[in-house]
């Protein structure tokens, strides 16, 4: 539950500790949960089945695994983001208790500064004598409000309008997942790509062997050229050897690149499938998600959201999830709209 609250609802360590203490739960030593206790739990790789002793880490042991590696990695990303001192680099919100949907990854389209959340209250008397009050959550340009630069954008934006537009963008993105393949088809597609790459590697290896054998024959012909017993002229033989060396060098370079690509793909497959399943899960459950869950989805789905004058919105997806949309949709992912 600690990992679930952190990843899906954006709970911080203090909030989780407070929740557990209110349930009268205690640590193994009988003391109350503290922030540091929660962070140690979230950082402990033992829950993934690893035994860590100093700088030595064992292989993952399935019988000790409580938390899957992809869940653990998501929690580490959130903790690292919240520990980031540079607010311009931070994407994950510190807290999800606020009323606004966006936090951490929303910027001014004019000056590039962060947009912060403020609460605007006002009360006035109308001509007919009735009192009218305003209580709104707004996004405020940090740079413009403090006159840190000559920002020509709006000072504030109504969060209700921005949030509704971003939720619609998220709906549009998740609707595209209806045509995406299931996990088995995704695995089959990856396998086909791997088989195709391996076939090309075998073909290149055979060509490389033939070219090396041909180069060896040409080099043996040098002695015959020197004694005048060769069918080649010195110039032709030299040109043939140079050409063959060029072919060998090009083939070796291409083969090395293919091997590197295959190695990188093997490493990325382990990350692609969990990310894909996470993306599909968001698409399936987004409508029924709580406000806190939608906040965390927005934090992880979007790398950057820019707000400009007249409520022009530009959303940039994180590359991890953008690849899935681009694979099964011909539309532009970086969405722009004015509201």
Where in the sequence is the domain holding 2, given as residue range(s)?
A: 1-83
Of 248, 277, 306, which residue constitutes the final position of a domain?
A: 277
Average per-residue pLDDT for the chain:
80
Of 262, 277, 292, which residue constitutes the final position of a domain?
A: 277
Please compute the mean of the pLDDT values over residues 255-277 and round it to a whole number.
74
Per-residue pLDDT tens over the stretch 217-253: 888 888 888 877 877 788 888 888 899 899 999 989 9
Q: How many CB atoms lie within 10 A of CB 211?
A: 20
Look-up of token digits 């790509």: 193
Q: Which of 308, 7, 324, 321 is nearest to 165 (CA)?
A: 308
Q: How many CB atoms lie within 10 A of CB 325?
A: 18
Residue 237 lies in a domain: yes
Residue 318 lies in a domain: no
The model's confidence at residue 108, banded by pLDDT at 50, 70 and 90, is very high
pLDDT at 311: 92
Please compute the mean of the pLDDT values over residues 27-33 and round it to a whole number.
86
**Residue with the larger pLDDT of the pair 233 and 158:** 158
Q: How many domains does the chain have?
A: 2
- Strand, coil or helix: what is 80? helix
pLDDT at 179: 58
pLDDT at 305: 92
DSSP state of 260: H
Question: Per-residue pLDDT for 197 more than 80?
Answer: no
Inter-residue contact 80 to 91 (CB < 8 Å): no
Question: Per-residue pLDDT for 335 more than 50?
Answer: no
Antiparallel, parallel or unpaired: β 106-108 and 115-125 = unpaired
Residue 314 lies in a domain: no
Structural tokens at position 263: 């190695």
pTM of the model: 0.54
């Amino acid at each position: 539950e600690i990992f679930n609250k952190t990843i899906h609802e954006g709970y911080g360590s203090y909030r989780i500790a407070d929740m557990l203490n209110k349930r009268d739960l205690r640590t193994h030593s009988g003391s109350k949960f503290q922030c540091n206790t929660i962070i140690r739990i979230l950082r402990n790789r033992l829950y993934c089945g690893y035994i860590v002793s100093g700088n030595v880490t064992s292989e993952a042991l399935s019988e000790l695994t409580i938390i899957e590696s992809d869940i653990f990695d998501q929690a580490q990303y959130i903790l690292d983001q919240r520990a980031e001192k540079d607010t311009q680099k931070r994407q994950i919100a510190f807290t999800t208790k606020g009323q606004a949907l966006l936090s951490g990854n929303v910027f001014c389209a004019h000056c590039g500064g962060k947009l912060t959340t403020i609460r605007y209250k006002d009360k006035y008397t109308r001509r007919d004598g009735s009192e009218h009050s305003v209580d709104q959550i707004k996004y405020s340009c940090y740079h413009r409000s403090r006159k840190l630069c000559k920002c020509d954008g709006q000072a504030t934006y109504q969060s209700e309008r921005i949030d509704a537009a971003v939720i619609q963008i998220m709906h549009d993105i998740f609707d595209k997942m209806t045509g995406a393949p299931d996990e088995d088809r995704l695995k089959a597609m990856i396998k086909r790509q791997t088989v195709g790459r391996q076939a090309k590697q075998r073909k290149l290896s055979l060509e490389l062997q033939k070219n090396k054998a041909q180069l060896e024959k040409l080099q043996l012909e040098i002695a015959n050229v020197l004694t005048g017993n060769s069918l080649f002229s010195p110039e032709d033989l030299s040109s043939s050897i140079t050409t063959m060396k060029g072919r060998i060098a090009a083939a070796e370079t291409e083969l090395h690149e293919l091997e590197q690509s295959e190695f990188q793909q093997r490493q990325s497959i382990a990350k692609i499938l969990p990310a894909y399943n996470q993306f599909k899960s968001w698409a399936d459950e987004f409508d029924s998600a709580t406000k806190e869950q939608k906040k965390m989805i927005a934090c992880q789905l979007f790398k950057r959201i820019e707000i400009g004058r007249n409520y022009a919105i530009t959303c940039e997806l994180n590359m991890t999830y953008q690849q899935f949309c681009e694979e099964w949709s011909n539309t532009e992912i970086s969405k722009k709209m004015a509201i």
